[in-house]
Amino acid sequence: MTRPQTVTLLTPLRVVRLRRMLGFELGAAIGIWILVLAVQWTLTQSGESAFTVSAVQFAASLPFFLLSLPLGAIAEHAGHRTLLAGTAIGLVITSAVLTALQVLELATMPVLMAAVFLSGCGLAAVAIVWQSLLPTLATREMM
């Protein structure tokens, strides 16, 4: 007679694909958090109003409300891997362009807000794919 496996808090982390996805999701979230903080710091240093500085968080969150349903449909149609790869490439390009503009001192408030919005779109895409893939990566018993 086989003894049933006990399920602990760390049991889902035995699944390699789940660990990789968790790392990607965490990395994207931390990267966007750092970007939002840097943009808010830059706007504060340049003397923008408190409303403008707080609007950065709104620009990062807005894509979740606007794009959740369309991104879910795109992920199912185009494929989760394709969407994740495209999102990663888009986030790298956005970060590189923003870095270049900041070094050249061409990063104005609208440019910063656009970069935060685009990065928020990337984070929304990663979150939507993560939520849709989670049930396929870990069994119900693991959760």
Q: Which two tokens stand for residue 56?
A: 């950065």
pLDDT per residue over 59-69, tens digit each? 999 999 999 88
Is the entire prediction scored with pTM above 0.85? Answer: no
pLDDT per residue over 7-62, tens digit each? 777 777 888 888 888 888 888 889 889 999 999 999 999 999 999 999 999 999 99
Give 1-37 as a DSSP string. Answer: -PPPPPP-TTGGGGSHHHHHHHHHHHHHHHHHHHHHH
